[in-house]
Amino acid sequence: MKCNRLVDAGRRQFLRGGMMATAGAVATTVMTPEQAKARALARVEMPTNRLANIADLVVNEPLDITYPDEESLGVLLKLGEAVEGGVGPDGDIVAFSVLCPHKGWMMTYSPEDKSLNCPGHHSRFDCENGGQQIWGHATNNLPQFLLSVDDKGDIYANGVDELIYGRLSNVL
């Protein structure tokens, strides 16, 4: 039954390394009134990032992505059956954060029942149902990345519907 694919085991090391490197990097800044005004949007402005092309996707095989920046890891999935919120010609392409909203462990994808599963404390989320927590300890459902597809089949992420683990603003 251990047929699950790790999203990307290697990146965990990367993350650990990253943790060391961040301390004390930014100096205190004072905002001018103009800057404060420029930033006074009601919502965080999310970038539009190209994630992949439809041709890159294999049904039920997770593709590693990041959004809105490379520190926020996710998966892009072509589920094989249309789902609510799915994009593409078959309405079956979705993308989710893979950082567990409980304590931020990295989750693995189970192709068997199209869920993301956390090795930390066993929370799991349904990729066919908007990332609803099937069972677990998190107090929100899994952040889903909002997608669009252009004429060339390029898939873009444009937004997120929940706060991503490990950041108090979805755009850092």
Question: According to the binding rule CB under 6 A, does residue 121 interact with ligand FES?
Answer: yes
Are 83 and 94 a contacting pair, CB within 8 Å? Answer: yes
Catalytic residue (one of 102, 118, 125, 142): 102
- Residue of 91, 44, 73 lying closest to 145 (CA atoms): 73
How many whole angstroms separate alpha carbon 115 and alpha carbon 128? 8
Radius of gyration of the chain (CA): 17
Tell the smallest beta-carbon distance from residue 2 to other proteins (Å).
8
Position among 78, 79, 92, 102 found at the interface with ligand FES (CB under 6 A): 102
- What, of ligand FES, other proteins, none, does residue 60 touch, CB below 5 to 8 Å by kind? none
How many whole angstroms separate alpha carbon 73 and alpha carbon 11? 9
Enumerate binding residues for other proteins (CB under 8 A): 1-2, 4, 15-16, 18-19, 22-29, 43-44, 46, 71-72, 84-85, 101-106, 108, 110, 112-113, 115, 117-124, 126, 128-142, 144, 160-163, 165-172
